[in-house]
Amino acid sequence: METLSIPSPHDGLALATYVWEPAGAPKAVVQVAHGMAEHAQRYDRLAQRLTAAGYAVVAHDHRGHGATVDDPKDAGYLADAGGWSAAIVDMRAVGAAARERFAGVPFVLLGHSMGSFLSRELVSRGSAGIDALVLSGTMGDPGALGKVGARVAALEARLRGRRHPSSLMNTLTFGSFNKEFSPARTDFDWLSRDTDEVDAYVADPRCGAVFTSGFFADMLAGVSDLAKDSNAERIRKDLPIYLLSGSQDPVGGQAAVEAVQAQYERVGLTDVTARVYPQGRHEMFNETNRDEVVDDLVTWLDETVARVG
């Protein structure tokens, strides 16, 4: 793995970026966009599996996450204004660098959880240069609760400051996620059935932080926009999309995957595939059946890259 820094066109922020290369010429390059309250190096095992299958992998720590955080006050914080769009600008910059480095091969964007929300918004704003999209643990329409949450977060940000660590929003967002797994061993049992993976997340100082009210305001407003058909209608109709999730994922379970697939097909997208794994939880790449999950992903990538390459 190679580590480098890419400046954000939004504000010059140094984006901690990681590159994994296959032994030979890559079939394609996969950009990984990680989820909330984690970091890109948690995808090292996935990246190594993908490089073994012939793919180059590029990932960065989103603003407010991982090694991109230089000042502790920036942890769990996107930007003073336009944070959601800033994170998308960052992703485009990393993707552009990846396409320049691995020129002439297909480009795949893979987003998990929050990274999938950002990826969905990114392709709705323009998918030139993106040959395929993979969405892991994404969510459907948050409905009225999502809109209320966005308003509460925005109000708290005004009253207490955008950098205020929001225990309130953390509880409102994640408080029910362990409900189906009682009695829970940790606060993060909802991530995976693999207790070693859950324990590694809990022990990682770069994971699981309480994020700021400004972050929640930005993210929840962004997620609410994804539910609009007018947003999905802007996506290129022939873009190959692969949705994957666990059936017990409190973020993107069976119903969420079906809702997103139905929305995409309703607005005319013609190449949408979905796979839901029985009993799987939120992080399917860290689940007990992760080898099966990655094998299925590689099969889809191989078939898709052969068509679009």
pLDDT at 165: 95
156 located within any domain: no
39 near 117, Cβ under 8 Å? no
198 located within any domain: no
Name which of 68, 64, 92, 88 is nearest 78 in CA terms.
Answer: 64
| Residues in the chain, total | 309
Instruction: Compute and round to an integer the Cα radius of gyration of the chain.
Output: 18
pLDDT at 225: 87
Mean pLDDT of 210-235: 93
pLDDT at 99: 98
pLDDT at 72 over 90: no
pLDDT at 253: 87
What own/partner pairs with CB < 8 Å and gap ≥ 24 does 126-130 have?
A: 127/235, 127/236, 127/239, 129/95, 129/96, 129/99, 130/95, 130/239
pLDDT at 125: 96
pLDDT tens profile 146-193: 888 889 999 999 999 999 999 999 999 998 999 999 889 999 999 999
Confidence band for 143, pLDDT divided at 50, 70 and 90: confident
Q: Could you tell me the strand order of the sheet in which 241-246 lies?
A: 2-7, 14-20, 55-60, 28-33, 107-112, 132-136, 241-246, 272-277
pLDDT at 30: 99
- Domain range spanning residue 69? 2-140+228-308
216 located within any domain: no
pLDDT at 25: 97
Mean pLDDT of 279-287: 98
Distance, in Å, from the CA atom of 69 to the CA atom of 61, rounded to the nearest integer, reads 9
293 located within any domain: yes
* pTM > 0.95: yes or no: yes
87 located within any domain: yes
pLDDT at 303 over 80: yes
Mean pLDDT of 107-117: 98
pLDDT at 145 over 80: no
Mean pLDDT of 9-23: 98
The total number of structural domains that make up the chain: 1
CATH number at residue 123: 3.40.50.1820
210 located within any domain: no
13 located within any domain: yes
Average pLDDT, the chain: 96
186 located within any domain: no
pLDDT at 17: 99
Mean pLDDT of 243-264: 95
Phi, psi values for residue 219, rounded to 5°: -65, -45
